Structure 1
Amino acid sequence: RKRVEALAQVLQVNGIKAVPYHAGLDAKTRVLHQDMFLMEDTNVVVATIAFGMGIDKPDVRFVIHHDIPKSIESYYQETGRAGRDGGEGHCLAYYAYKDIEKLEKFMSGKPIAEQEIGHALLQEMVGYSETSMSRRQYILHYFGEEFDPATGAGGNMDDNMRNPKPQKQAVDEVKLLIQLIGAAGERYKSKDIVNILMGKNNAMISSHKLDQHDYFGSGKYKEHAFWTALIRQVLVARLIKKDIETYGTLKVLDAGREYVMSGKTFMMSDDHTYYQSSDQIVGAARGGAVDTQLVTFLKDLRKKVAKQKNVPPYVVFQDPSLDDMATKYPMNMEEMANIHGVGEGKAKKYGKSFVELISSYVDDNDIIRPDDLIIKSTGAKSGNKLYFITSIDRKLSFDDMASAKGMDMNKLIGELESIVYSGTKLNVGYWIDEMLDEEQQEELHEYFIESVSDKIEVAVEEFEGDYEEEEIRLYRLKFISEVAN
């Protein structure tokens, strides 16, 4: 519900008519927001699944899943709310595996049988999101129907069919897969079969003595992701099936046995891979192409400014901030303050020369700026930011702050990092003094002032376990705050 409110606000401040809708709103507000949508006084409803089950609006054009649903059943039903008048319905789903992990956490308190079912449904959703085959064919197969994208109506409607991945022959691998499922007694799920193929031992495999099986490690010459993708495609080809009664164990069908004897061809394509690093997510979310030539100029300027100030370059601006500048071309201080990881403080301190360089570059190269990429934020975190700044001024313990906001220490440090990296000074020395003595602080200061990178994993490796990751992150807060801000 909190995410619904926050996302609706972001859309509103960016000039999009949007309203929130969830079961936590009072009945009067829910009716008002539903009527506004029906009467077209608002264009977008940001909602939990509480919205739209029986809504009488046939001309919905877009259903956007900001979070991935819990099952294909849910996804199918929710996308079905678009285009009920027979017109076009566009369905866009955002997917990252961390969403799946979040849903798995929600299930952790439930009975084991319920968890098994919930996990199986989620894995089908993962399969749908990551598959590179026809999404229409995948969904229809899930519901027990056959569909050939080459001849069926609407076969070219999804992203995979419009931008197909190259395919390769996989006859030997399909035969190996089917033979293993049969030889193992048709008692194991996809992940177990993949582990056997990869020769990956675990408690279940050793207790069933599968590590002594002839097929154990027979698929090591391919990657884990290859076998996962192949199983999904062999399922859709109806050579094997998942047995629902036993929570998804794989069974060989008659067509599969025939294929082992006489199969001549099987074309497969690899699944999509989605990267999880924060920089890549930032890059993906931006939607624009980074101007690599401008990045080079900005890095040169950053080096020059860093030399003048006698600080490492990352203290001035981090790489993701430069990438963002080379996408959005900020030409005044207000726009610079909206760049990822900059903020008003940093814009005032370092932004002037960067804005001048970007303005000249835009003029010299006749660049048309993508104004629509300047996304305004709502300041939704400003309440937290104010709380943290005033709490640190009062020298409150970090443990108390984390507890007050229902966060763990990792999340709290992340919040403080975003404040400090956007140019605000936080006097966190009182808390660092509790954790590190003077000599340790001097050693860390020397490291960060001489290092070309502020990456924590590099620092952890450098100190070979002398410091905990949390200690290094906390000291980095103090360093950036004092040296950069």
Structure 2
Amino acid sequence: MDTPIEVLRRIFGYDSFRPGQQEIIEHLVAGGDALVLMPTGGGKSLCYQIPALVRPGTGVVVSPLIALMQDQVDALTALGVRAGFLNSTQDFGERQAVEAAFLAGELDLLYLAPERLRVEATLRLLAKGEISLFAIDEAHCVSQWGHDFRPDYLTLSGLHERWPGVPRIALTATATPATHAEISSRLGLDQARHFVAGFDRPNIHYRVTAKSEPKRQLLEFLRSEHPGDAGIVYCLSRSSVEKIAAFLADNGIPAVPYHAGLDAATRAAHQARFLREDGLVVVATIAFGMGIDKPDVRFVAHLDLPKSVEGYYQETGRAGRDRLPATAWMAYGLQDVVQHRRLALEGDEAHRRRQVLHLDAMLALCETVGCRRVMLLDYFGQKDSAPCGNCDTCQSPPESWDGTVPAQKLLSTVWRLDRERRQRFGVGHIVDILLGKKTAKVLQHGHDSLTVFGVGGELGNADWHGVARQLLAQGLLAVEPDHGTLVLTDTSGDVLGGRREVRLRRDAPRPARTRASGTSNGAGARPVVELPEEAVPLFERLRAWRAATAKEQGVPAYVIFHDATLREIATLSPSSLAELGKVNGVGENKLAKYGEQVLETIAS
């Protein structure tokens, strides 16, 4: 029987494990249960794939991602691993063939959706075969506290009752301490070993910019920093998704929409294009992206504020899985805060309380004057991190200023309208009053006679909107849910009475950034292979060969080789199979299958 390190070298083509992997793998091989928290791109899948290859029997992987099972199985098959899946996309003959292979002991890994384990026929099938382990991927889906709850995950605790001798491993990249505890409790893993490998993604540059003209800002970001790169743009509404995708396409950037309103065939086609094509942008609601194993996503952009830090981390984590530099970019503005404050007040009391806590944490991340990565890691329980040097607030620290007087003026305007006139208005009208603008609406209501009319001349229109945004973010101002008008909160009186100072953030000018060159300036980033200028032509030829080969085989390009592997090949320019076999990511099966073609490409 091969040892884990032998499997890593022979099949996956790597000489050493990443931090944390070996201990988890050895624990699982020995028959222990494990709960693993590891960042996206940290190598979670190897933590169950290698034990499944070492232990006798078939590893059963529970994944919520039916649409991606084929690609996951294709990637393993390319490595010489015997893998299969059972889901509703297969016809009877395909399912029968996979079931027969499982019963004959001819599968190393079998992928199932959680709902399939509620079907008695599936449980009877598993009972007839030999199971090496159960792997529960995306384990945060079991948490009702989390952002991606799936009821079918609640039944997975029954696996241990039915197969008490089979080790289990639950894995996620997204879990606060509360979510971590809930996963452990609901899956019956309190007695398991818990491995927390950290949440840092040092290769990702985090940036939040003030929203002004979001479409124009997005286009500028893509053209200046990520021309020709694959990426994901997230929007909250389906209509926004359609409009942004059309706008990008009209401006020469290949883009497709993805949301629940599209028919299943269109969604599947767009997802397949994203996985298989270089340089495609998907504009999506949060329905897109979970479990996407595309390693070369170079950016994730948000044009609307995510509902929670967990959601933001999960979505931005889809960038840079290959550990090369990537960008998490967000345009964030006043209307985001107003909209989310209104949404947070819907539902029952427990739901509202959760939504408000999630939103407050997300707003704090956007408005911080400190390192964004430090705040992000702190949210997930990773304390005492040092500033990263690879986020906007580290590279261009914003100023904090005493905004107490402007805050008092704005709050006083809201108070006077509400108490003196029994009227409530939105932000725009409040700012018009402060700036002394005699608009039709101001004159209609006689608001030019208010004592606060025109008292805000020290700030401009955009500055006042920024003050309102930050007061909403700090809970010093609230949104009335039915009409979106502004109202005071219980803490507003402390500001009006001079008992509380209000510190506000003044954004620093953003320095010009250029397209990532292949190395990260993030503190603690794992070094990647530099691509010398003279190696670029060969790298591009290798990419062209890979694209043609992937198209011929009907698989995503990364199934052939990752970009990082091609970069190393282009840099080293090996001249023999023995030399090529030493490159990271070139295992025995890929060396035998593609080695001669790679050497011919190099020689040409």
Q: TM-score, normalised by structure 1?
A: 0.37
Q: TM-score, normalised by structure 2?
A: 0.31
Higher helix residue share: 1
Relative contact order higher in (CA < 8 Å, ≥ 6 apart): 2
